[in-house]
Structure 1
Amino acid sequence: MNLHGIVAVSGKPGLWKALAQNKTGYVLESLDDKKTKLVANVATAKLAALSEITIFGLEDDIKLTDIFEKMKSVTVPATKDDGKKLRAFFFEVAPDHDEEKVYSSDIKKIINWYLILKDLPLFNEADPAEALAAEEAPAAAPAAAAEPVDEAKEEAAPKAKAKKAPAKKA
């Protein structure tokens, strides 16, 4: 899932796509049908990239992207449903979340974000950072394993010291 460039703005409902950056902040466009444009000043507005958001877990924090992946395979309730039903749903997609730190308002916000994103083409695209890492990992592994280095031979070989050339006088 490719969520790069998708941000949540504090004090503004919905999700926003970063279009450009200027001296004072970012030019954003809403992901709803209205396609509202906004200039978010970095000094006053707080932006949170969806690809970087985590949820409190019992042991480790849970990435929002992992929760979205699990939400793809289950029936998502409406945000207006009962709090107990929403909490039960969230235990299904994030079983090790910290119940005391993750509020029902957070769950409603995550469900609302999912409902906004699920129909967008970028939601089903591969993450470019993960695709790049997957391409580099197999290429680096065979090169490293191709020729084992004998450490004893490497230590026995004396290293030559680089000699400095004498300075020329004018």
Structure 2
Amino acid sequence: MNLKALVSVTGKPGLFKLIGQNKGGFILESLDEQKKKSVVNLATNKMATLEDITVYGLGEDLKLVDILERMKEKGTTPDPKSDGKTLRNFFRDVAPDHDEERVYSSDIKKIISWYNIIKELPLFDEDRPTSADADTTATQKTGDD
């Protein structure tokens, strides 16, 4: 799963694809049906790639990408508008070590909504780039000495 170009913006619902940058900020395209483009200024909005988002865990924080991968393996998700108990039971299956006191039902709803947006995207089926891949690419670009 390679979700590096997908971002969440504080204060804006849904997910966005990062498509460029200009003087005013980053150019984003919404991933809903309307595919609207907008510019986000980082001085007034916070933006995070899905690759960088974590969920509170009992020990270490859990990577959102790993949780989304387990959701993909599970195949079905509850409706994000389901009651809190249904959402929590589902989340216990896909993120068993999450901190139930600090991860709220609203967080679970948002993660399920995000999953429903991205599950059909080609990026969702791509492999995540690893540091070994980056090293190989760097070696290929510089050539053999």
The TM-score normalised by the length of structure 2 is: 0.89
Q: What residue is the counterpart of 2:108 in the other structure?
A: 107
Residue correspondence of structure 1 range 30-45 to structure 2 within 5 A: 30-45=30-45
1:64 maps onto 2:64 in alignment: yes
- Which gives a bigger RCO, structure 1 or 2 (Cα 8 Å, sep 6+)? 2
Distance 1:130 1:90, change over 3 A: farther
**Shift, 1:135, TM fit:** 5.1
Aligned Cα RMSD in Å? 1.6
Q: Matched residues in 2 for 1:129 and 1:6: separation? A: 17
- Tell me the percent identity: 60
TM score, norm. by length of structure 1: 0.76
- Map of 1:6 onto structure 2: 6
- Larger Rg, first or second structure (1 or 2): 1
Q: Hey, which bits of structure 1, 4+ residues long, moved more than 6 A? A: none
Aligned ranges 1:121-132 → 2 under 5 Å = 121-129=122-130, 132=133
CA distance in 2, matches of 1:110, 1:51: 13
Tell me how far apart the structure 1 counterparts of residues 72 and 20 of structure 2 sit (CA, whole Å).
Answer: 30
Ranges in structure 2 where 5+ consecutive residues have no aligned partner: 138-145
How many matched pairs?
136
Aligned to 1:151: none
Return the alpha-carbon distance in structure 2 between the equivalents of residues 52 and 127 of structure 1: 12
- State the Cα distance separating 1:23 from its structure 2 match: 2.4
